[in-house]
Structure 1
Amino acid sequence: MFALRRIRRFSTAAPRKAYPTSFISHLRTQKLNVFNIGVAFLTLSLSSQMVTYKQKYEKALAEQTQLDDKVAALEKLVLDLGGSLPDDEALAKAKEAAEQAEAQALRERQEEANALAALTTDEKKGKKSKLI
């Protein structure tokens, strides 16, 4: 009984619209108003941005793979020549030393800036401040 209803429904139903296969064919079926034009513009711009970022990502991924291969080849060359690769502790110590040197340089620059600022403020005092 249900099968007969389904057959009758499919045989008497109006034909469905074909699903658009592209964005342009979808736009042809839409009404032409400001909102639909804006949505179409935003959709196209976002899709072009997505394609651009995907290409950038794939390029960066390819470069990273190439760099990984080069690093592996260099490490192998160092080991073949009798050298040794730095371990994690040595890398951590070198990183800590670099951070301390950077912090020291930043402190020195800040002290120089403060001293220079103190000198320039003394020179710019007006007549009233000298009288008081």
Structure 2
Amino acid sequence: MFAVRGIRRLSTTAPRKEYPTSFISHLRTQKLNVFNIGVAFLTLSLSSQMVSYKQRYEAVQGEKEQLSEKVEVLEKLVLDLGGKLPDDEALEKAKEAAKEAEAKALRDREEEAKALAALTGDDKKGKKSKLI
């Protein structure tokens, strides 16, 4: 008896809507109101941004591969000409020297800013100090 009810229920139910295969076909089945239009606009906007970021990422990856190939060729050329490649110690020394130079430049800028502030601060005296 239960099997008969199950068969009857399956045969009398309305056919299910097919699941949309694309966003555009999904939009065709939706009501046209401000919310759905906004959601559609945001979805299309985000998908276009994702596509553009993916293309940029792939372009950067391609450039990175080309640069690594060029570095390999240059390293081979240096070795063929009798030179030697810098080792880890030389790289560390170069990084430290760059950090020191950057810190010195930052200190110099701060000193210039303080000196400039001191010069401009003396010129601007208040009315009370002029009266006394």
Structure 1 residues 13 and 116: CA distance shift in structure 2, 3 A: same
Structure 1 residues 127 and 22: CA distance shift in structure 2, 3 A: closer
Match of 2:87 in 1: 87
Match of 2:57 in 1: 57
Match of 2:39 in 1: 39
Percentage identity across paired residues of the two chains: 78
The TM-score normalised by the length of structure 1 is: 0.88
Deviation at 1:19, TM superposition (A): 1.4
State how far apart, in whole Å, the 2-side matches of 1:50 and 1:71 are.
31
Deviation at 1:11, TM superposition (A): 4.3
Match of 2:120 in 1: 120
Deviation at 1:37, TM superposition (A): 0.8
**Number of aligned residues:** 131
Q: RMSD across aligned C-alpha pairs, in angstroms?
A: 2.2
Q: Which amino acid aligns with 1:41?
A: F
Post-superposition CA distance 1:57-102 (Å, at most 9, x none): 0001101011110011101111111111111111011110111011
Q: Which amino acid aligns with 2:62?
A: A
Match of 1:69 in 2: 69
Deviation at 1:116, TM superposition (A): 1.7
Deviation at 1:128, TM superposition (A): 2.8
Q: Which amino acid aligns with 2:69?
A: D
Structure 1 residue ranges (4+ consecutive) displaced by more than 4 angstroms after TM superposition:
9-12
Match of 1:104 in 2: 104
State how far apart, in whole Å, the 2-side matches of 1:11 and 1:18 are.
17
The TM-score normalised by the length of structure 2 is: 0.88
